[in-house]
Chains A and B, each alone.
Chain A
């Protein structure tokens, strides 16, 4: 079965440090890949997505992610963390199922804490 694994349910970094949130997926075909962010008491919003083409994808707020097919990974990075980056981050894959619909499968989420 297709799945999404996010390594580390909690990640803590200092302000200005590198942010690295890990995501691995299992899929027999190349999926569409997404990172969403959820700020406290809010819904999810899209950070970035990979569909086809360039494997390094840039998103909002200085985040980027690289699709590595050989490693089935889509890790999210940001060179320098800001206090406002504290949130929960979800990796997701979109897979085509019979009947013509695409289903979004989410990882369990990683809560990022940023310390002064």
Chain B
């Protein structure tokens, strides 16, 4: 089944404790992105990647890191999480930019206390 998977789905952590949210797609897509969803703000792009080893900042990249060492994987790293990073996170992939549909993972709900 074609899909985007994320792990974990739910995570509660404390301020400053490094964490990684994994994202994997099995559709051989070039593009991958991370978004955060906050009430009243819709989805905002954190980082995106156009291909292996090619990543760039989105609208809200502060205090996040990503890497794209393999085409299928695009982990999101919070090296020192803070409470304002409490949010719902989505990974997405698409075969190309422009008019192509983005396929979203199920989301990761992160709470930082």
Q: Which residues of A contact B (CB under 8 A)?
A: 4, 9, 32, 34, 36, 41-46, 49, 51, 90, 94, 96, 99-104, 106-109
Contact = CB atoms under 8 A, between A and B. Distances in A.
Classify chain B's interface size: 20 to 34
Given A43-B105, A43-B107, A94 B98 contact: yes
* Best-buried of B35, B42, B90 by chain A (most CB within 10 Å): B42
A44 B99 contact: no
Contacts of A106: 35, 42-44
A58 B50 CA distance: 29
B67 interface: no
B104 A44 contact: yes
Given A42-B107, A43-B4, A49-B99, A90 B56 contact: no
A90 B42 contact: yes
B40 A32 contact: no
A108 B40 contact: yes
Interface of B: 4, 31, 33, 35, 40-45, 48, 50, 56, 58, 90, 92, 97-99, 101-102, 104-107
A24 to B, nearest CB: 14
Given A90-B42, A102-B97, A109-B42, 5 more contacts: A9-B40, A43-B106, A44-B104, A49-B101, A94-B99
A49 B58 CA distance: 22
Contacts of A109: 42
Contacts of B99: 32, 49, 51, 94
A61 B106 CA distance: 20
A32 B98 contact: yes
Contacts of A96: 97-98
Given A90-B42, A104-B45, A46 B101 contact: yes
Q: Which 7 A-B pairs have the closest CB atoms?
A: A102-B97, A43-B104, A106-B42, A51-B99, A106-B43, A108-B42, A44-B104
